[in-house]
Structure 1
């Protein structure tokens, strides 16, 4: 009898990956939306507002879906945290210019 893990076993860190994708993914989506709103200053206001509002959900769901591709929950938290810092840093930098 083999004691190796098969492909059908569930990893123990799925909850940390899920939380990283849900929490950090949401803040990342909001940051990307805010950055878009800042950088799209030449757009018609009605179009810019609608795009800014509706782009949050696809970004959040993409991050939430992609967070399971990380090797561990720790890496998911680390990389998504760094991505949040970059996006919100860029958002803050656009305020200076």
Structure 2
């Protein structure tokens, strides 16, 4: 089976948008862990980044095209950043 022509766009989507998604997931985790010592919460947040990033980078090749990978991961990033913003605001509670 030949290599697909859109492998580069999928790879870049996974690298760039996967990293921002992983960092945002880490930031979301930090909100409820704010009461823990920084040594604990920082380690938890730091070690969340690689599995999310590499998981995204691995799953990005299941998208039908590079454009869809960029579109869906951009949407996931916007949603995650919105959740982080809501969590920082208190979640409306």
Q: Which runs of 5+ in 1 are unaligned?
A: 1-7
Name the TM-score, length of structure 1 as normaliser: 0.86
Partner of 2:67: 74
Within 5 A, what are the aligned runs for 1:39-78?
39-78=32-71
Offset at residue 44 of structure 1 (A):
4.4
CA RMSD of aligned residues (A): 1.1
Offset at residue 41 of structure 1 (A):
3.3
Partner of 2:27: 34
Partner of 1:10: 3
Offset at residue 46 of structure 1 (A):
2.3
Partner of 1:25: 18
Give the secondary-structure state (helix, strand or coil) at the position aligned to 1:10. Answer: coil
Larger radius of gyration: 1
Give the secondary-structure state (helix, strand or coil) at the position aligned to 2:31. Answer: helix
CA distance in structure 2 between the aligned counterparts of 1:43 and 1:84, rounded to whole angstroms: 26
Structure 1 outlier segments of 4+, above 3 Å: 41-45
| Paired residues, number | 90
Give the secondary-structure state (helix, strand or coil) at the position aligned to 1:93. Answer: helix
The equivalent position to 1:91 in structure 2, one of 84, 87, 93, is 84
Name the TM-score, length of structure 2 as normaliser: 0.90
Offset at residue 94 of structure 1 (A):
1.3
